[in-house]
Amino acid sequence: MPKTAALNDTEIASRLAMLNGWSRDAARIVKVYSFANYHETMAFVNAVAWVAHRSDHHPDLEVGYNRCTVALTSHDAGGLSARDFDSAAKIDALFRP
């Protein structure tokens, strides 16, 4: 697979503005999702795992009782790429508060 191209700061800011609730943390974009209970949290985590598997782009997940923090970066690009923002949009589509 060819190396993924890293985005520059202007491209990152533009793409980040199109996402709701995501923030930049150095070479990652991060969002915390909140849920009513553990069951809802785990259903979301499993759905994210499926989307990540199908996209072959895997976020870091930090899971708690009623929350899940999702962090995306493109290791092969050495920072953020279009794949991170595409994945963020797919993950957002799973979440309906």
The 10s digit of each residue's pLDDT in 59-86 is 999 999 999 999 999 988 889 999 999 9
The enclosing domain of 81 has a CATH number of: 3.30.1360.20
The arrangement of strands across the sheet holding 23-25 comes to 23-25, 28-34, 67-72, 60-64
Host domain of residue 43: 9-94
Percent of the chain exceeding pLDDT 90 equals: 89
Percent of the chain exceeding pLDDT 70 equals: 96
Lowest-confidence pick of 30-34, 50-54, 79-83, 93-97: 93-97
Residue 87 lies in a domain: yes
Residue 2 lies in a domain: no
Residue 72 lies in a domain: yes
Mean pLDDT of the chain: 95
User: What pLDDT sits at residue 4?
Assistant: 82
Rounded to two decimals, the pTM is: 0.93
Residue 59 lies in a domain: yes
Residue 4 lies in a domain: no
Residues facing residue 24 across a β-bridge? 29
Residue 79 lies in a domain: yes
Query: How does residue 1 score in pLDDT terms, banded at 50, 70 and 90?
Result: very low
DSSP string for 16-29: HHTSSS-EEETTEE
Counted domains in the chain: 1
Residue 1 lies in a domain: no
